[in-house]
């Protein structure tokens, strides 16, 4: 049974505490950054203003099943809202999984006769991503072709935004931002240049800017939109091996699964996980997510777990019980956020799936445009601290 909202203290080998989320550029080049003033509903002061290592009960092994060559991982917690998959659905686009490769190939061979276009395929999961503008044609194909095991809409994946609304009008109790002091707060000394050497860490995000100073050994764009100067992916990378990174010697795999604007889909994220594993990643950081459960994404998570690859994911910034997927799957390390006073951030999602919390507000990262300093907040920021600590 997982515990929600606990603060982890991470040194070199013990490290595990973090945060992530929304990226806002600050014009100043000064570090540390000033305290971040964010309204907090009913804050609770910690017993001491420093990190603590809290050892939660060891979670049960993920429920991995192999059936007809298809892997599946059970969610760590049931979806809080069955409507989430419908709300996240991409219109006219579907993800199908099949009993075996033969059924998948037979379905694929028949699809063109019915005007159904195959967008992508994942042999590992015996999965297809299709677009079907004509519902009648799709129904006819489903009757004639081998029956899929699962047939569901492909769903949106996004960067977790900071919430707006009632929480913003709560009594003003400013959170304390981290500036450039996150590593000191975690109890980590100045990282040596060889920390993380020999470890490959995959960053599945909006892409890492070409000017990033760390070691990027492999780049691939799975979105078809090209590499730009998206700040989110660069900010995440900088908290692994850059400005406040614990492992400057690690080799990063830059796997772009989101557009520069931070949008993507579950099938592409699943492909990114499989790509990272096949390219030798030992850790995968995912500072993005979806409210919907995806069988194809679950299969990709299972593929990584079976190969002893560690996945770390942001829980989301909705300020509600229940986390985003893939952080909600068993075997994925789900990371929430705290401020520099050790307080839970009101927007950091909660629930039994949350494993750790780490610095998640006012974290200093490089600003892409001018070489200055930006302020990075949210569970997207917390996740890479945990990833780096594990490396």
**Annotated active-site positions, please?**
205, 232, 380
- Is there a contact between 147 and 328 (Cβ–Cβ < 8 Å)? no
Residues 6+ apart with CB under 8 A from 213: 242
- Asked if the peptide bond before residue 199 counts as cis, ω within 30 degrees of 0, the response is no
The conformation of residue 289, written as its DSSP 8-state character, comes to B
Sign of CA dihedral 210, 211, 212, 217: positive
What's the rounded Cα separation, in Å, for the pair 356 and 56?
Answer: 9
Residues 6+ apart with CB under 8 A from 204: 255, 257, 269, 272, 273, 276, 284, 285, 286, 288
What's the rounded Cα separation, in Å, for the pair 358 and 337?
Answer: 5
> Which of 19, 8, 92, 87 has the alpha carbon at shortest distance from 50?
8
Lookup result for tokens 């614990």: 246
Q: What token pair was written down for 220?
A: 């691939």
> Which of 385, 375, 390, 321 has the alpha carbon at shortest distance from 353?
321
> Rounded to the nearest 5°, which phi and psi values hold at 245?
-90, 140
């Amino acid at each position: 049974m997982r515990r929600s909202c606990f603060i982890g203290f991470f040194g070199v080998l013990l490290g595990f505490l973090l945060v992530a989320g929304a990226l806002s550029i600050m014009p100043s080049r000064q570090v540390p950054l000033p305290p971040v003033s964010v309204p907090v509903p009913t804050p609770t002061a910690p017993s001491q203003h420093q990190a603590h290592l809290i050892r939660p009960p060891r979670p049960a092994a993920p429920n991995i099943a192999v059936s007809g060559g298809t892997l599946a991982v059970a969610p760590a917690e049931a979806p809080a809202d069955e409507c989430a998959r419908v709300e996240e659905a991409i219109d006219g686009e579907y993800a199908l999984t099949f009993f075996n490769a033969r059924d998948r190939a037979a379905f694929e061979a028949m699809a063109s006769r019915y005007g159904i276009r195959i967008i992508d395929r994942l042999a590992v999961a015996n999965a297809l991503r299709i677009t079907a503008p004509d519902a009648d044609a799709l129904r006819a194909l489903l009757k004639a072709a081998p029956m899929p095991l699962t047939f569901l809409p492909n769903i949106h994946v996004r960067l977790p935004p900071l919430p707006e609304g009632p929480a913003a009008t709560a009594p003003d109790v400013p959170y304390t931002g981290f500036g450039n002091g996150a590593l000191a707060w975690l109890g980590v000394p100045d990282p040596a240049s060889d920390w993380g050497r020999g470890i490959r860490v995959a960053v599945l995000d909006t892409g890492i800017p070409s000017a990033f100073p760390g070691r990027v050994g492999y780049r691939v764009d799975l979105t078809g939109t090209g590499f730009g100067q998206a700040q989110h992916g660069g900010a995440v990378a900088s908290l692994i091996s850059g400005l406040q990174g614990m492992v400057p010697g690690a080799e990063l795999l830059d796997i772009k699964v989101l557009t520069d604007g931070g949008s993507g889909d579950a099938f592409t994220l699943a492909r990114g996980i499989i790509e990272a594993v096949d390219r030798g990643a030992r850790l995968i950081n995912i500072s993005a997510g979806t409210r919907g459960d995806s069988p194809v994404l679950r299969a990709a998570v299972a593929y990584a777990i079976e190969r002893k690859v560690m996945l770390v994911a942001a829980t989301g910034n909705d300020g509600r019980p229940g986390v985003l997927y893939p952080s909600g799957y068993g075997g994925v390390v789900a990371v929430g956020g705290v401020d520099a006073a050790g307080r839970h951030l009101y927007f950091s999602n909660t629930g039994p799936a949350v494993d750790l919390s780490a610095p998640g507000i006012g974290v200093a990262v490089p600003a892409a445009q001018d070489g200055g300093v930006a302020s990075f907040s949210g569970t997207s920021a917390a996740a890479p601290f945990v990833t780096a600590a594990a490396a």
